[in-house]
Amino acid sequence: MDLSMLNPQQRLAAETLEGPVLILAGAGSGKTRALTCRVANLMDHGVPARSILALTFTNKAAREMKERIVRLVGDQAEDAWISTFHSTCARILRRDIEKLGYSRSFVIYDDDDQGAVIKEILKRLNIDEKFLPPKEIRAKISDAKNKLLSPDEWFAKSERDHRSQMLHDVFVEYETRLKALNALDFDDLLVKTLELLADHPPVLESYRARFQHVLVDEYQDTNYAQYMLVKLLTDRSRNLCVVGDDDQSIYGWRGADIRNILDFEKDYPDATVIKLEQNYRSTANILDAANQVIAHNAGRKEKALWTESGEGEPIKLFCAGDEREEAAWVADRIRQLGRQGESYGRTAVLYRTNAQSRVIEEMLMRSGIPYKVFGGQKFYDRKEIRDVVAYLRVIVNPADDVSLKRIINVPKRSIGDSTVQELVNHARENDMPLYSALSDIPDTLSSRPRKCVSDFFLLMTMLTALKEALPLSEFVKTLVEKTGLMEQYQREDTEESRARVENMQEFLGAVEEFARASENATLEEYLENVALVTDLDQQEDERGYVTLMTLHSAKGLEFPNVFMTGLEEGVFPSGRSLMDENRMEEERRLCYVGITRAQKRLFISRASQRMLYNQVNHNAPSRFLEEIPPRLLQDEWAEKKEAAFKGVPQSAPRRGGYGSGYGMRSTPAMADLGKPRLTLHGDALGIPGVQKGFAPSKARELASGAMQSLFRKGDRVMHRKFGEGQVVAVTGRGADARIQIEFTAYGVKEFSLSIAPIVKLEDDE
């Protein structure tokens, strides 16, 4: 087989066919090519395709791997088992699950099916869902199964309190119920396969004899159950090849165990270790930054990425005053890339948590930049946000039957579909809005649903009265509390529920921000603002979309232009990791993943002050930012501003630290701008005799006249405080001349031309 297209290390990986092999594949190092060539080379050396098992984590990865191998060796590759862990286990169980007391026609339950079974058990055990939410139970059971713990073993490791005892009892009932239903959940596919292989040696021996070579992709993401499955299958042949990158192990929160890859050589002392370190994705500066950051982790295999692609551009750095200025900078730089010929589809904006996307989304929409949220919904499309908005719409417009139907049983208040249908029928028969039927309850309803509907109507009546009595932000916060919208998720101890709580807190922050911007903001005005945001969300653009995503979602992807936002202590790294070294190392690996998504250009930003989850924090720069050597960073905003205002008197002191940004807070000097002071240097205007400080009126008129000829509608300008903007209009004459400028973060602002601290920017960027 021709392996000449591989580099020396990739070729070594493809040609080392016997014994345990660990391929440490750095980001962008061509691991998929090496892995597929290795499988093809096995077949070329006489290994039957049916004797090869290749395990992946996604169906897409498995499909792409098989397609590549077929292109290399032809249709004989079809006999190889190339699939995900769970698909492989399901295939094994379909053949022999009868030995465990199930029939081969077993069904596989998804999350909703599991939830229905758990709710049924809670009713039977008389356990309140509010005390023990089904989603929390499902998460705890899943975690236990991934660690191969039985209900009793799980309880022994728990806090062994009353709550743990109840969880244990539900777990026992759940296992019994699923077996009676001839059903497996997703985690059972692994657990039951291991049980089958461990308890029935002939079955294990048949698969050991069949699979002479086992390969595992993304080995750093395996959990304990997956580790044990691979170990069982390869104990005889010892022909195990695992491919992965410990520096990209970022899923510990969902069960992945980095020790599986770090301890591979302990499990297999005779293992061959091959490092793929040549990167084919990023520039040298980007790789240097990634290497410098990840080197601060203690728990890792030593390796260093390198490239022949050249040094590339320095990493652009920006320190904003707050999250809005940060988002405006991102939007401005994306537009600048567009002027350089870069399509939107070549750019990604990364952030640590979904809630951070709100301000970025709003700023991109204001700038007319189309975007898509990858791996998740847009902020205002998320269920928890739509629920709050639906409540607010009903308060403003009780005739909104669509919104009322959405929230009448959210959170659950025992108003089922049949009760809602009775109310709908009653409203239709009496030609009234559905809301009116809440107070004019039909006689056909029995006492319990009548009380539930009545209680809901009283709640809505109280909230309607509070709307008139409370300021906007306080009212929305009260509504979220009184309805229990946030509490329903706070009770659940899962990653999903915590994310929903954070999104709702971010929504409250958005309301407060809107209220601050308008002295007498009303709920009606805010809902109109939300409607405009969501309408803009639907716009399509043939030039492509900027991709917005969390850092976790970005793994495995690459973009020519990448923005990493929110590099602050408590944001990234997250607050939960600050006191836990293992979590901190995983956060640093996440930073490494983010940096190595960039091919040509990397932009990094932070904010000195950030409102997130409706809390304002003054955050220190992220330690990851400080781990990148200054030689790789360019505070391009500070440099650009310094060049633009060279020779122009300073109106306020510049902030120190990483980047000065244009988010300068108001200072006495800044507030003093309204006094008759010339802040544009006279030489720049070609006017002799203009001096700093109080200028004679004649000089001011000359200056204003010169500036009127300098600035035109559509010109791009820079303001010392507000950053880049576009001239909307120039009006008046002489000392009364005014200029209106639209800034991405601040909207339209008007200044006196004679004192405005602005300079015109060239159009050649």
Catalytic residues: 31-32, 217-218, 248, 597
Whether 559 and 599 have beta carbons less than 8 Å apart is answered as yes
Cα gap 24→273, rounded to integer Å = 7
Helices (H) and strands (E) in the chain, counts: 31, 22
Distances 348 to 167, 257, 533, 595 between C-alpha atoms, Å: 42, 29, 21, 12
Cα gap 124→130, rounded to integer Å = 15
Would strands 559-564 and 546-550 be described as parallel, antiparallel, or unpaired?
unpaired
For 470, other C-beta atoms within 10 Å of its C-beta total: 15
Q: Specify which residues 496 forms β-bridges with.
A: none
Would strands 21-25 and 272-276 be described as parallel, antiparallel, or unpaired?
parallel
Supply 91's token pair.
Answer: 């295939």
For 624, other C-beta atoms within 10 Å of its C-beta total: 26
Whether 486 and 501 have beta carbons less than 8 Å apart is answered as yes
Whether 422 and 442 have beta carbons less than 8 Å apart is answered as yes
Is the bond preceding residue 133 a cis peptide, omega within 30 degrees? no
Whether 215 and 38 have beta carbons less than 8 Å apart is answered as yes
Whether 741 and 747 have beta carbons less than 8 Å apart is answered as no
Cα gap 205→526, rounded to integer Å = 66
Cα gap 4→357, rounded to integer Å = 45
For 620, other C-beta atoms within 10 Å of its C-beta total: 14
Supply 506's token pair.
Answer: 């971010």
Indicate the DSSP class of residue 185.
E
Would strands 716-719 and 723-731 be described as parallel, antiparallel, or unpaired?
antiparallel
Supply 372's token pair.
Answer: 């898509």
Cα Rg of the chain (Å, integer): 31
Would strands 716-719 and 758-760 be described as parallel, antiparallel, or unpaired?
antiparallel
Supply 399's token pair.
Answer: 């005739």
Whether 677 and 710 have beta carbons less than 8 Å apart is answered as no
Contacts of 708 (CB under 8 A, 6+ apart): 730, 733, 737, 753
Contacts of 170 (CB under 8 A, 6+ apart): 118, 121, 122, 125, 127, 132, 137
Cα gap 235→214, rounded to integer Å = 11
CA 50 to chain centre: 39
Whether 632 and 289 have beta carbons less than 8 Å apart is answered as yes
Would strands 240-244 and 213-216 be described as parallel, antiparallel, or unpaired?
parallel
Phi and psi dihedrals of 349, rounded to 5?
-115, 125
Element (H, E) at 205: helix 201-210
Cα gap 4→391, rounded to integer Å = 64
Cα gap 753→129, rounded to integer Å = 64
Supply 47's token pair.
Answer: 């290994």
For 251, other C-beta atoms within 10 Å of its C-beta total: 21
Would strands 738-743 and 747-752 be described as parallel, antiparallel, or unpaired?
antiparallel
Cα gap 166→170, rounded to integer Å = 6
Supply 650's token pair.
Answer: 């300073």
Q: Which letter, b or e, does each residue of 35-57 get, where b requires 16 or more Cβ atoms within 10 Å of its Cβ?
A: bbbbbbbbbbeebebebbbbbbb
